[in-house]
Structure 1
Amino acid sequence: MAGANTPLQTEPQQTAWLEVFLLWFAGISAAMQFAKFSVSYNELLDYYQAGPTLTGASISVVGTIGLIFGVTAGLVAGKIGYRKVLIGALLLGASLSLIQSFMPAFEIVMATRVLEGFSQLGVVIAAPTMIAKLSAPQHRSITMGLWGTFFGVAFAITGLVGKPLIAHFDLSGLYLAHSLLIGSMAIALFVLLERNESRYGSAPQASSDSYLTKLGKVYRTPRTLLPGLVFVFYTCTLVSLLTYIPNFIEQDSLRTTMQVILPLLSTAGTFIAGALSQYALKPQRVAQIAYIGLACGALALIQGIETPLIFCLIVGQMILFAGLIPGAALAMIPRLARNSEEQANGYGIIAQLGNLGATVGPPSFATFITLFGLYGLAGFVMFICLMGSLFAYLALRLES
């Protein structure tokens, strides 16, 4: 497709690695807005006595903001400036965690969680757009693969240090530590990043179109939509696999071990996808291979395997291939986009559809598992892989 490979204005000759890593750390600190409430769920349940439903909602409500406003945030960020949006979002997140550290009434906590959704969304729109802009062409897929690991790394770090923090300093200590972390990221990026917004994104093109017209154009543009459609089937699947597959492992010790290993395999797959997309294959091809590998694993699961270790190896293979998908989808965006505005819109769609997948995936898988057991899980995975491969193929056609 003509224009798909048009350079994004001035391409940097060298990757600004320090800035890239700090932006990645900023993403990790923002993802901890999910992880800190996940790791402290039982303590929140005991402290506030709000019941499992409302306490569970305090975890997921952050993602609903991305589900509703994902594309809108992409449009707004390009207009305001990505550096301003990023630093403002981080400062907002630091302030909200500070409020939570005082353990206010549960209604106030829920209000801060809604606002944290805007903070998290601002970071996941601005940071990857800036990373792509600060990366030399020969490193862009690698840096996008690195960015794609931020969510898994955030949960791994929070899982490692969260419980000890709670044990020594209670819930308030955990939330205060997060406030200091995300606030320090805002200060570091404010000092380090150049104030010239043109370094991080092209100026928005003058347009007389209404907001709704612009919004419709984002969804009608294959360059911005298709990476998100490849990504949505990943979020629909991974959260569900990590939640339900351990229940099929009968040995308690093996199940506990897999609950630690599987997220790490997913994170490794995401980074591997960035390297493959940079040096070996187009990211669309990587996504196709990932979905095929995931489908083959699902097919192997229903072959009547009775050996727990072999079952776990197949599950590990599935999670590793699933982890390739976000790295490939994120690498597609700077490859297909013609300017930084389209990049931000692409990340906005990924934020929106990613939250949609994470919302509808678990109950859908639960229904199939209830009706058909392991066959239902494997069959639904294979259907999802068919759809994800189809959209990856259509994204590949954009460059033909």
Structure 2
Amino acid sequence: MTVHTSPYDTKTAWLEVMLLWAAGISVAMQFAKFSISYDALLAYYQEGATLTGAAISVVGVIGLIFGVSAGVVVGRVGYRRALIGALALGSVMSFLEALMPNFELMMVCRVIEGFSQLGVVVAAPTMIARLSAPQHRSITMGLWGTFFGVAFAMTGLFGDIILRHYGMGSLFFSHGLFIGGVACVLYFRLERNNPLYENQTSTVQNKILAQMSQVYRNPRNLLPAAIFLFYTCMFVSLLTYVPRLIEDEHLRSVIRTCLPLMSIAGTFLAGTLSQYVMRPQNVAIMAYFLIATSAVALNFLVATPVLFCVVAGVMVLSAGMVTGAAMSMIPALARNPNEQAQTYGLVAQLGNLGSTIGPPSFATMLSLFGVQGLISLVLIFCVCGGCLSILARRFKNNSASL
């Protein structure tokens, strides 16, 4: 295969990388805006904890169904066109949600938002990797891995103010303005017909299904995505439900803002460790071990809120390390750009699987068993993710992944 040479073989286009990161933040807010308004949604729609929890995660349904096919199809459409179109669709859906339609129509909007989320999480990281010099690739992929945590931190800080003073409709309208603004900036900043924004391999149309099947059978595709899956099973739920276990209202507000920041710090830490200290597989193993240890400690600290918050912060910091390690693993293990794009499609699919099943599962376990239910689920996911991280050590890193 002929690899396209570009100036980014020796330097990183940091401005474009940051704008693409902002695109990821804007679509992650599709989860965050419903997470911070969870109690308000419960009161407004009166649909119960499980259905309201599903409203948070239903954005992931489209990625769950079409993730791998998106990794193949988006490359054929062109990453720039897919990215900007997805952002525009997300903006329209947010404006419709701002009208506060009935619950059924709101859920339809949330499902359609899934197309927006999927297009961005497939196209943006592939473009970031291509715009990054090899010596910066783990750093930029670690940066990309923070987009979920940054979205929750920004939404927790600014969105909470909008929610308290102006209501849910204004929160959703503000998100529509933000995601639409990012789309406009990228439309004018990203060059048209740039080969870096297109798929660099030729694929016969009737081989798409065969290509999708190959993605599932390739451990270099499957392992990073599966490691990421068990992180996503926990992440949205931890940010949503852990603060609700704290009785003090002020402390709850502080921890709701701090937990996403801890996740961001963990992702940056994992990217740095993966670039300079150890293989990303080893970072993932360490991170899952720390999450499990912190979860066990939480069981004994419910009656001491300050220590509970500290340990919860360590747990979410470690969760952030998982996503940084998984994202760094993708360009490290991929053998060519096409394989890397396919892995991001699989990451989108399995990540959305985790984001879809996580919140309702944690809501149910919390209602049945309290804190012990939450801890039990965390331990199950950590064991699964840790075992897959150990398995991924069998595969050598590819020093020339692009």
TM-score above 0.5 = yes
Query: Which of residues 44, 47, 52 is equivalent to 1:51?
Result: 47
Please point out which of 84, 87, 103 is paired with 1:87: 84
Distance 2:227 2:193 in 1: 33
1:229 partnered with 2:229:
no
| Number of the residue aligned with 1:174 | 171
CA–CA separation in structure 2 for the residues paired with 1:199 and 1:92: 23
Deviation at 1:338, TM superposition (A): 2.0
**Equivalent runs, 1:61-100 vs 2, <5 Å:** 61-100=58-97
Q: Distance in 2 between matches of 1:19 and 1:211?
A: 30
* Paired letter, 1:51: E
Moved more, 154-163 or 320-329: 154-163
Partner of 1:204: 201
Alpha-carbon displacement from aligned partner over 1:261-290 (angstroms, at most 9, x marks no partner): 222211211121111112222211111111
Match of 1:36 among 33, 38, 42: 33
**In structure 1, what is the Cα distance between the partners aligned to 2:164 and 2:360?**
33
Name whichever of 69-78 and 207-216 sits farther off: 207-216
CA distance change for structure 1 residues 117 and 284 in 2, over 3 Å: closer, same or farther? same
Q: Which amino acid aligns with 2:34?
A: F
Pair 1:380–1:282, CA change in 2 (3 A)? same
Cα offset, 1:162, TM superposition: 2.4
Question: How far 1:256 moved relative to its partner?
Answer: 4.3
The answer to whether structure 1 residue 392 and structure 2 residue 389 are counterparts is: yes
* TM-score normalised by structure 1 residue count: 0.86
Aligned mate of 2:286, from 289, 297, 300: 289
CA distance in 2, matches of 1:369, 1:42: 15
- 2-side partners of 1:298 and 1:40: how far apart? 25
Amino acid at match of 1:347: Y
The farther-off stretch of 291-300 and 260-269 is: 291-300
Q: In 1, Cα distance between the equivalents of 2:31 and 2:332?
A: 29
What is the Cα deviation at residue 326 of structure 1? 0.4
Correspondence for 1:338:
335
Structure 1 window deviating more from structure 2 (79-88 vs 150-159): it is 150-159
CA distance in 1, matches of 2:363, 2:104: 30
Summarize the Cα distance change of 1:278–1:244 in structure 2 as closer, same or farther, 3 Å threshold.
Answer: same
- State the AA in 2 paired with 1:138: Q
Which is further off, 305-314 or 230-239?
305-314
| CA separation of 1:250 and 1:180: change in aligned 2, threshold 3 A | closer
Distance, in Å, in 1 between the alignment partners of 2:231 and 2:313 is: 15
The equivalent of 1:185 in structure 2 is 182
Determine the C-alpha separation between the residues in 1 that align with 2:285 and 2:120.
Answer: 28
* CA gap 1:312/1:95 in 2 versus in 1, 3 angstroms: closer
- Asked if 2 retains the 8 angstrom alpha-carbon contact of 1:230 and 1:391, the reply is yes
Q: Is 1:161 aligned to 2:137, yes or no?
A: no
Give 5+ residue unaligned stretches, structure 1.
1-5
Change (3 A) 1:8 1:143: farther
The answer as to whether partners of 1:7 and 1:338 remain within 8 angstroms in 2 is no
Say whether the 8 Å CA contact 1:79–1:204 is kept in structure 2: no
**Do the aligned partners of 2:64 and 2:349 also contact (CA within 8 Å) in 1?**
yes
What is the CA-CA distance between 1:40 and the residue it aligns to?
4.0
Q: Is the 8 A contact 2:57 2:359 kept in 1?
A: no
| Aligned positions of 1:216-365 closer than 5 A | 216-246=213-243, 249=246, 253-301=250-298, 307-362=304-359, 364-365=361-362
| 2:18 counterpart of 1:21 | yes
Paired residues of 1:201 and 1:341 also in contact (CA < 8 A): no
User: Which amino acid is 2:311 matched to?
Assistant: I
Is 1:137 aligned to 2:134, yes or no?
A: yes
The total of aligned residue pairs comes to: 394
1:153 positional shift: 1.4
Residues 77-86 or 193-202, more deviating: 193-202
Q: Which residue of 1 aligns with 2:400?
A: none
Deviations 1:237-273 (A, max 9, x none): 3334344544655655544433332222112111211
- The 1:51–1:303 alpha-carbon spacing in structure 2 relative to 1, beyond 3 Å, is closer
Query: Secondary structure of the residue that 2:58 maps to in structure 1?
Result: helix
Q: Determine if contact 1:9/1:339 at 8 Å carries over to the other structure.
A: no
Given that residues 61 and 113 in structure 1 are in contact (C-alpha distance below 8 angstroms), is that contact kept between their aligned partners in structure 2?
yes
Query: What residue number does 1:3 align with?
Result: none
Conservation of the 8 A alpha-carbon contact between 2:59 and 2:356: no
**How many angstroms does 1:166 deviate by?**
4.6
Shift of 1:67: 1.2
**Preserved CA contact (<8 Å) 2:3 2:200:** no
